[in-house]
Amino acid sequence: MVDIKGRSGSPWRIAAGRFVGNRLSLASALFIGLVALIAIFGYLIVPDSTPGTNNQHLELATKKPGFACRFFLIPGSATTQRVGIIKKFFRGQSNPYREVPILSHAFQGWDIVLTEYVEPDDSITIVSNYGMAGILFLEIKQEDMVFATDSLFINTDGVQSAFSRDELIERVERNHIVRRKFWLGTDRFGRDMLSRLIIGSRVSLSVGFVAVAISLLIGITLGATAGYFRGWYDDVVMWLVNVVWSIPTLLMVIALTMVLGKGFWQIFVAVGLTMWVEVARVVRGQVMSLREKEFVEAAKVMGFSTARIIFKHILPNVLGPVAIIAAGNFATAILLEAGLGFLGIGVQPPTPSWGTMIKDHYGYIIMDKPFLAILPGVAIMLLVLAFTLMGNGLRDALDPREA
C-alpha cells in the first residue's frame, strides 16, 4: 500500500505517489491529456469539419475573435453523400453546401433575395436572387413544378404534392440560413481559426507520438544490445551514434525530408530518425551498469536466453530514464515539426499545422491582427511547456535519492 506521502510500497507506486504530489507536473499531464482528447475527436467537435478544415470564405478574411455572421446554404450537388462516422473521424466530411455570407435576406414571390456580406467600409452592395424551389427541391426538374399564387405543385412519378409559400419560407429559414460565430476569428483565407488550431494539434501530437515511438524502438534496441554485448558491436553502434550526434538536428531533418519527400508520414519518419541517439546513449550506459548485477548473473546461471535477460530483466530497470527522455523528445518533436512547417517543408496545405499557421500570418503582427500568429505560437508554447514540466516531474518522481 502507498501512504499519503507516497513513501511506502513498490518503487513504481512510490514514484506515482510523488508524481501525483507534484501539482505542477500533474496539471501538465492533465493538460496534455485534455489536448490529446480534443485532438482525437477533432473532426467530430470542430465547427468546420471539412477535410483539412479548409472551408474558405474570402469575404471574411482575418476577422477578429468573436466575429459572427449569417450564412445562406446553397446545396452543392444532389449526389453529395455523407460519409460514415469512422471516415469523418479520420478525414472529416466534405461540405454538401456552398456557404454565402450575407448581411440580410428577404422573400419576394417565390424567390429569396440576399444582400451578400461586404466590408462596412466598402461602398458597394451585392444582391443575388435564388429560387426557393430550386434550393429546397434540388433533385426535382423545373418542368415538374407548377407555381400558383400561394402554392407550389410538384409532380413526381405521377403523384402530385402541394406546398404553400409560407411553408417553403419556413423551411428555408430553418434549414438554409444559419448564424455562426468564429470564437478565435478567421485566417487570411476566411477559415475558422479554432477549427484549424484543433486539427493542427493532431499533427503536432501525432508527429511527437510517432517520432518518439521510432526513436525508442531504434534507441532502446541499439543501446541495450551495445551495452550488453560490448566489443566490436558496441564500437560500431557508438561510432554511428557519434556521427548522427554531430549533425545539427534541424539540418538532418531537412535533409531527410528532401530525401523522403514532403508530406504527413515523411515528417514522422524524418523527425524520429534524428531523435534516437540520446535514447541509445542513456540505455547503453544503464545496461552496462546493470549487466554485472547479481540478478543478471543469476539469470545467466539459470540458462535464460540473452533476449529474455535483456528485455525482461534489464530493460524494466531502465524505463525511468527512458520515460524522462521520451517526454523531452516529445517536446522537441513538436518544435521540430513547427519549425519545418514555418520553413514550408513540413506538412503540406491544406492540412493545418501550427508552424504553417505562424508562417502564413506572422506579417499580421504589425497590422493590428497579431492574434493570427500569436494563437498558434501560444499553442506550441503551452504544449511544449507541459511536456517539459511533466518530464521534470518524472525525473523527480523516479529519482531514488528522494526516497
Count Cβ atoms below 10 Å from residue 29 Cβ, excluding itself: 20
Q: Give the residues across from 155 on adjacent strands.
A: 160
Q: Tell me, what's the pLDDT at 54?
A: 93
| C-alpha closest to that of 244 among 279, 210, 268 | 279
We find that the CATH architecture of domain 11-38+194-402 is Orthogonal Bundle (1.10)
Contact 35, 402 (CB under 8 A): no
Contact 271, 311 (CB under 8 A): no
- Residue 65, all three cell numbers: 475573435
Q: Tell me, what's the pLDDT at 81?
A: 64
Q: SS3 for 386? A: helix
Q: How far apart are CA 138 and CA 74, in angstroms?
A: 10
Q: Please report, for residues 113, 134, 343, 352, the alpha-carbon distance to residue 146 in angstroms, rounded to integers and kept in the order given.
A: 21, 13, 59, 48
- Residue 116, all three cell numbers: 451578400
Tell me, rounded to whole angstroms, the distance of Cα 318 from its chain centroid.
31
Q: Tell me, what's the pLDDT at 125?
A: 86
Q: How far apart are CA 6 and CA 25, in angstroms?
A: 16
Q: Tell me, what's the pLDDT at 202?
A: 92
Ordered by start, the domain boundaries in the chain are 11-38+194-402, 67-190
Q: Which amino acid is at 304?
A: F
Q: Tell me, what's the pLDDT at 77?
A: 62
Q: Tell me, what's the pLDDT at 4?
A: 43
Q: Tell me, what's the pLDDT at 187?
A: 94
Percent helix, strand and coil across the chain, each to the nearest 5: 60, 15, 25
- Cα–Cα–Cα angle for 37, 192, 366, nearest 5°? 115
DSSP state of 190: S
Tell me, rounded to whole angstroms, the distance of Cα 19 from its chain centroid.
27
DSSP E strand stretches across 176-331: 177-182
Contact 154, 110 (CB under 8 A): no
Q: How far apart are CA 236 and CA 242, in angstroms?
A: 10
Q: Please report, for residues 47, 115, 246, the alpha-carbon distance to residue 270 in angstroms, rounded to integers and kept in the order given.
A: 32, 50, 17
- Residues near 222 by beta carbon (within 8 Å), at least 6 away in sequence: 237, 240, 241, 276, 280, 284
Q: Tell me, what's the pLDDT at 402?
A: 54
Q: Tell me, what's the pLDDT at 400?
A: 60
pLDDT tens per residue across all 403 residues of the chain: 444 444 556 777 888 888 888 899 999 999 999 999 999 999 999 999 999 999 999 999 999 999 999 999 998 765 556 677 888 888 898 888 999 999 999 999 889 999 999 887 777 888 999 988 888 887 778 777 888 778 888 877 767 788 888 899 999 999 999 999 999 999 999 999 999 999 999 999 998 898 899 999 999 999 999 998 888 999 999 999 998 888 887 788 888 878 877 777 778 788 888 888 989 999 999 888 888 888 888 888 888 888 888 888 888 888 888 888 999 899 999 998 898 889 888 888 888 999 999 999 999 998 889 999 999 999 999 999 999 999 888 888 876 655 5
